[in-house]
Amino acid sequence: MAETDPLRAAMIEAAERQLASSSDHEVATRAVCEAVGVSQPVLYRLFGDKRGLLDAVADHGYERYAALKAAQERTGDPVADLRAGWDGHMAFAQANPALYQLMFTPRPWSHSTARDRVMDLLVAALTRCAAAGALKVEPRTAAQLILSANIGTALHHLARPALFDDPALSHRMRDAVFSHVLAEPPAQQDADPLRAAALRLRAQLRLGGTEALEPAETALLERWLERITQP
């Protein structure tokens, strides 16, 4: 497999270039093969079919997205980092419109893992917020709400920029969603302080673990905390 990796990467890059330059954001497998200098059976061997090639392009886009996230400065304020993460997501969409739409527009037949892995990055960021007592709901629930709003805002702006041309719209949507999931004032003043404490402890366990408990005990504590934090 190792000897095919450079060829596979070259075909993914050719497909992405074609995607970006095409007026209708389409990819022609024949043109991809011609750009790399191979026959179409090579594409079918490496990717299965055109759908497999597009999935590979989407997953390659995730790698670029993840690299940008890794380069983002991580401060001592997880909420500020979360806000910057929203803006970074929007900037990625603006810089890579065709690739972004491939990654995030629903394709029922797709086997791309890009969207799932973006969700995992967001859950990790929100777990930091929960550990700081700044989250009102479970991190994955918060991630589902935030990612849906972030993707929706970005896709609408890309598809119909004339209708979504207000530069403040992105931040207004961000602030509306964040107000629902972030604790303001801090979670210690929550109407259910036990649930708030359980959310925070559960997140801290996920971030750092503990040597004071056996794995089975940690799993049992995780289960108890999960039950407490359920709405």
| pLDDT, tens only, 180-196 | 999 865 544 556 777 77
Q: How far apart are CA 210 and CA 4, in angstroms?
A: 43
20 in Cβ contact with 100 (< 8 Å): no
Q: Burial letters for 199-215: b for 16+ Cβ neighbours within 10 Å, e otherwise?
A: bbbbbbbbeeeeeeeee
Closest of 114, 98, 101, 122 to residue 63, by C-alpha: 114
| pLDDT, tens only, 3-12 | 458 999 999 9
Q: How far is CA 168 from the centre of its chain?
A: 22
- Other CB atoms within a 10 A radius of the CB of residue 108 amount to 4
In the chain, what percentage of residues exceed pLDDT 70?
A: 94
Inform me whether the pLDDT recorded for 217 exceeds 90: no
- Other CB atoms within a 10 A radius of the CB of residue 186 amount to 12
> Exposed, middle or buried: residue 43 (CB in 10 Å: 0-12, 13-18, 19+)?
buried
| pLDDT, tens only, 156-212 | 999 998 888 888 999 999 999 999 999 865 544 556 777 777 787 788 788 877 777
Inform me whether the pLDDT recorded for 89 exceeds 90: yes
The pTM assigned to this predicted structure is 0.77
Inform me whether the pLDDT recorded for 1 exceeds 50: no
- Residue 188 is predicted with a pLDDT of 46
Q: What is the largest CA-CA distance in the chain?
A: 65
Q: How far apart are CA 35 and CA 21, in angstroms?
A: 14
